Structures are given as structure tokens and as C-alpha cells.
A and B are shown apart, each in its own frame.
Chain A
Amino acid sequence: MSIWEYANPKRFMQTSGVLLPWVTGASLICLLVGLIWGFFFTPDADKFGSTVKIIYLHVPSAMMSISAWMMMLVASLIWLIRRHHVSALSAKAAAPVGLTFTVIGLVTGAIWGEPMWGTWWAWDPRLTSFLILALFYLGYLALWEAVEDKDTAADLTSVLCIVGSVFAFLSRYAVLFWNQGLHQGASLSMDKKEHVSDVYWLPLVVCIAGFVLLFVTLVLLRTRTEIRLRRLAALTTRERLA
């Protein structure tokens, strides 16, 4: 059996229906454990006080906002190459989730930035990049909404997603070039020992896992909704024709 069989809407509905409660549960557990551990059972940092604990929301959502776009890119490519409707619909389903993560990342960043840097907003490269990413999400969603024929919309948004990815990537580096910023360097890279101690690191990993699972849950849920919407449209059309 090939993996493409899951691209059949019916097959997808069955599988995702079985999967959904488990993923939902797992993401809830991870989020609860990670956030409670992070917020209440880690010591305050020497310099930053308790404000540092916002990383348990800030970092995972920022990571997921990029991952969501990546997932949309892959789904768009699959739609353009193999014409599986589920793929196009999952890209559509992921966009609002990704946008929400981006906004959470920006808002928590502002809240954290105020005590840290003394300002709600700075044109720091990373902040700017995420703002630009939010604009890309908005354009993508607006194009989906504007085009009436759903297959046409899927094609156009997929092309936009691919071209947009290239330009989003370029923007990232353009912005770095434009302003060397305030953000601490790669505090979460694999050489974490140099930056963040285990006390903070472990709950963060749990939180990240929780956010990934949350993303999967939401995308599965929304893809199911989209499939049902399309099916409804198909049935209405059939009714009209009969």
C-alpha cells in the first residue's frame, strides 16, 4: 500500500477520524505538562526575572509559524504535481493556523520585549521577518477567499505559496542585512548547553512537542471541515443537476 492512498478523501476521513482523539489528547497533555512545568516549576532567571518564562509560548509558536508555511509549501507542491485534493485542502487548512501562531509569536514577543528591551516593538530583523511572514499568510488567505472556483483557487494559491516561499526566504536575509538586531543569537540551537540550561530547556522541549501536536490536531480538524464543505458543494451541484 502506498502513502498516496491517504490522499483519497474517504480514506483520509477514516484515518484522521481515528487519529484525531489521540492527537488531541497528546497535544493537551504535552501543553499542560510543558506550560505548568515551565511557568511554575522553573527558577526565575538572574537577570530577566520571571518574564523569561514567556518563551514557553513565544518560542514554540514562532517555530510553528515557519513550520506551518513549510508544510503548506510541501502540500502545494503535492497538489500541483499529483492533483490530490486533500493536499490542497490541507494547505488551505494550515494557513489560518500558521497565521495565528505568527500573531501569537509577535504578541508574546512584544509583551516580552517591553521589560527586556524597554519597547513593545523594535525593527529587529527577527521581528520584522515574522511581520513579513504574517503578511504573506494574509495574502495567501485573501487569494483563497477571492477566487470562486475552488480548483482554480487551489492552483493559484499553490503557485503563490511557492513563489512566496522564495521571496519570504529572501526577505529574511534582506532584513538581516538591513538591520543587525537585538535578538539573542540562536539560543535554541543544538548546542543549547552554551545558552540555555537544562532547567529551562526540558520543559521547552515538551512545549514544542505540544505545539507541534496542536498544529497537527488543528490541521486535521480543519482539513476534515474543508473536505466536508467540498463534499457538500458536490452534493448541492449534483442535486441541481438531477
Chain B
Amino acid sequence: MRSLLRRDLWLAVRAGGGFGLGLAFFLLVAVIVPLGVGPEPATLAKIAPGILWVGALLSCLLSLDRIFALDFEDGSLDLLATSPMPMEAVVAIKSLAHWLVTGLPLVAVSPVLGLLLNLAPEGYIWLIVSLALGTPALSVIGAFGAALTVGLKRGGLLLSLLVLPLYMPTLIFGAEVVKRGAQGLAVGTPLALLAAITAGSLALLPFAAAAAIRVNLR
């Protein structure tokens, strides 16, 4: 299983696109929003937590269809399904790989983008904590959506339609953590709820996703 993780990471790094695209998109969101809403520092500071979370979520969404589609097209998914690795583990590892190449870099650059959007100083730590805690949920929920649409020809758009509603609780609690953190309020409750969503998704969704993949390979 470690070999699958290593392979997926290698593929993402060597094939390119995996890292770069999501990050570039995140950056673009942070640049485009001030251009749209105007440069007033107070306005930007007010909307920064939400924009950063929405940006991270959309960047995550961008690369979701690659989680299984590439392996489906070249036949690897069939071979993985007949290999000794349980499909649930394959899903979990592939979500982890997706998080490592998409979610983790987003967490790392988010303070810089916070700077661009004039995030209040108290907010930075909570921005990093909430993204670090929430993006794994985005990856695994996304893997579930990707598993549902893996056999479809025009799955990309449908994938967004399926996954975005599922992202809402994560987004709400994640952005709430940053918003409260930036205002210097207590963040315990939304942070705990965010962690609960991540833990629950990680524990249960691989099973649902594996079931969906088995149906799709049939």
C-alpha cells in the first residue's frame, strides 16, 4: 500500500499539473477577488476568511477527476480491483495522495494569500489550522464524488455538481473558525465540529467510494 502512495505521488510530481494547477488557481482567486470588490483594506479583511476557504475548496475541486479517471482509462483500476489490495484501502491511499499534492500545498501557501487579502493578524494561525484540519475531508469527499463518476465520459461537470453540496458543512465550519479567529473570538466549537466532519468522512467515505467503484467497473 505504501507502494501505491509512492506511485501516485511520483505520478503527480512527474506528470505535472497536480501540484501547480491547484496552487495557481488558489493564487488567482486571491488576486481576482480584490480586483472585483475593490482595494479597501477593511472590506478585504472582512471577507478574507470566506474567500480563502472558498478558494481552497475550488482548487481542490479542480484536480478531483484525476483521482481515479487516469487509472480507469489505462486499465490500472481493473488490475487494482483484482489485486490483493482492498478497494477501500486504494480509495483511502489515493485520497491521501490527493491531499498531499493538493491540500497540503494549499495549507502551506495560505498565509501568503491571507496577506494579499489583508487578513487580521490573529487569523493566520487559525487559517492554517482550519485548512490543515479541513482539507483532508475535502480530498476524501472528492474521492467519493470521483468514484461515482469514474466511468462517465463527461464526468467533470457532474462531479462538481455532486461534490459541492457535500462540501458545504466543511466550508461553513472551516470559514467560521477563521472568521472567529480573526476577530479574536473563541474558535473551539467550529474547530471541533470541523475535526468531527473530517474524522467521520475519513472513517466512512472510503467504504462508500469503494462500493461505487466496484459498481462502475462491473
Question: Touch between A and B in complex, CB under 8 Å?
Answer: yes
Q: Chain B 195-218, CB within 8 Å of chain A: the 1/0 string?
A: 001000000010010011001101
Interfacial residues, chain A to chain B (CB-CB below 8 A): 132, 135-136, 138-139, 142-143, 146-147, 152, 155-156, 159-160, 162-164, 167-168, 170-171, 173-175, 177-178
Is B208 within 8 A of A146, CB to CB? Answer: no
Give residues of chain B (150-198) contacting chain A, Cβ–Cβ below 8 Å: 151-152, 154-155, 158, 161-162, 164-166, 168-169, 172-173, 176, 189-190, 193, 197
A175 to B193, CA, bound (A): 13
Is B168 within 8 A of A174, CB to CB? Answer: yes
Contacts of A156 in B (CB 8 A): 148, 212, 215-216
Is A177 within 8 A of B176, CB to CB? Answer: yes
Contacts of B193 in A (CB 8 A): 174, 177
Judge if B144 is at the interface, Cβ distance under 8 Å.
Answer: yes
How many interface residues does B have (CB within 8 Å)? 29
Overall SS of chain A's interface: helix
Is B152 within 8 A of A139, CB to CB? Answer: no
Is B205 within 8 A of A163, CB to CB? Answer: yes
A66 to B55, CA, bound (A): 31
* Besides A156-B216, A167-B168, 9 new A-B residue pairs in contact (Cβ under 8 A), listed by A number: A143-B162, A147-B152, A152-B215, A159-B148, A159-B211, A160-B162, A164-B165, A167-B166, A171-B172
Contacts of B189 in A (CB 8 A): 177
Is A163 within 8 A of B208, CB to CB? Answer: yes
A177 to B212, CA, bound (A): 32
Closest beta carbon of chain A to B130's beta carbon, Å? 14
Contacts of A142 in B (CB 8 A): 158, 161-162
Judge if B149 is at the interface, Cβ distance under 8 Å.
Answer: yes
Is A139 within 8 A of B162, CB to CB? Answer: yes
* Residue of A with least CB distance to B194: A174
Closest beta carbon of chain B to A108's beta carbon, Å? 22
Is B190 within 8 A of A177, CB to CB? Answer: yes
